[in-house]
């Protein structure tokens, strides 16, 4: 059976009104990974005078921006580590790994292989969360606005980092930079850390800190871009005998 336990990372991934109606399996308890966090509803904040950005940081940001503006799709292996908190104290941690594919516009496929298999698929209109061990799948109508969160936007060339985030660096060198991005608009996460190679702009690791203090770290390995995955990559058909739970909520409805 799917667990109805509170899930802080999934609550960050989904708008609260939708998340409240969803029971999420233990296998995806710690989320669809840091790249998918979606901002809470709210108009963009008015632009304030931007502080001076160090040259190394600006160069790293511009490299990331340029790299992902040229990307149509991304395929990679991922390793995910999640740290949850309980009443402000250190809680539990979990590790998982698998493969992920993103493609414009707003399509994705997360295949969690370890420690237990699960699948998260979206074609930009429908989101599926499949738990093969319990033969259950959840289907949610999402749409373009739902999938346009700032944390994934710039990876797909649909956002502007310096416009959407306040940026500083924990470390910045010629071969590696660790950037801290704080969203300028009201969001369901506090900050996003990116580890990147400033020479090419490729993101190697992300780390999301949500508003409850939970942290999700994702390391991307063997990334490939513009491989043109077939359309069926982002489609899901429930196998015979699988119970489908349809959740007919979508943003703005």
Q: Tell me how far apart the alpha carbons of residues 19 and 12 are, in angstroms, rounded to a whole number.
A: 9
Of 96, 104, 127, give the one whose Cα is nearest residue 24: 127
Tell whether 62 is covered by a domain.
Answer: yes
- The full DSSP string for 122-189 is E-SSEEEEEEGGGTEEEEEE--TTTT--HHHHGGGT-S-HHHHEEEEEEEE-SS-EEEEEEESS--SE
Name the DSSP class of 32.
S
Per DSSP, the three-state class of 78 is strand
Tell whether 179 is covered by a domain.
Answer: yes
Q: Tell me how far apart the alpha carbons of residues 107 and 124 are, in angstroms, rounded to a whole number.
A: 5
Q: What is the pLDDT of residue 152?
A: 63
Tell whether 47 is covered by a domain.
Answer: no
Phi, psi torsion values for 65, nearest 5 degrees: -60, -50
Range of the domain at 145: 8-39+54-247
Note the pLDDT tens digit of each residue in 164-201. 899 999 999 999 999 999 988 887 789 999 999 999 99
Q: Please give the tally of structural domains in the chain.
A: 1
Tell whether 189 is covered by a domain.
Answer: yes
Tell whether 106 is covered by a domain.
Answer: yes
pTM here is 0.75
Note the pLDDT tens digit of each residue in 37-95. 443 434 455 555 556 889 999 999 999 999 988 899 999 999 999 888 865 566 788 99
Q: What is the pLDDT of residue 5?
A: 35
């Amino acid at each position: 059976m799917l667990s109805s336990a509170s899930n802080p990372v999934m609550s960050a991934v989904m708008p609260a009104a939708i998340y409240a109606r969803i029971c999420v399996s233990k296998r995806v308890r710690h989320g669809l990974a840091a790249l998918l966090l979606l901002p809470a509803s709210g108009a963009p904040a008015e632009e304030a005078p931007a502080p001076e950005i160090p040259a190394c940081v600006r160069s790293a940001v511009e490299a990331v921006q340029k790299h992902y503006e040229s990307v149509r799709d991304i395929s990679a292996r991922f390793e995910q580590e999640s740290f949850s908190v309980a009443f402000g104290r250190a809680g539990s941690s979990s590790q998982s790994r698998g493969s992920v594919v993103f493609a414009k516009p707003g399509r994705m496929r997360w295949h969690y292989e370890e420690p237990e298999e699960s699948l998260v698929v979206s074609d930009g209109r429908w989101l599926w969360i499949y738990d093969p061990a319990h033969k259950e799948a959840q289907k949610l109508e999402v749409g373009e606005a739902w999938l346009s969160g700032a944390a994934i936007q710039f990876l797909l060339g649909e956002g502007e980092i310096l416009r959407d985030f306040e940026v500083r660096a924990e470390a910045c060198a010629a071969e590696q930079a660790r950037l801290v991005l704080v969203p300028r608009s009201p969001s369901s996460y506090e900050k996003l850390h990116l580890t990147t190679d400033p020479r090419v702009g490729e993101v190697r690791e992300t780390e999301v800190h949500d508003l409850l203090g939970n942290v999700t770290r994702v390391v991307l390995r063997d990334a490939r871009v513009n491989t043109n995955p077939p359309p069926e990559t982002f489609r899901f058909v429930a196998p015979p005998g699988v119970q489908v739970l349809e959740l007919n909520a979508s943003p703005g409805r």
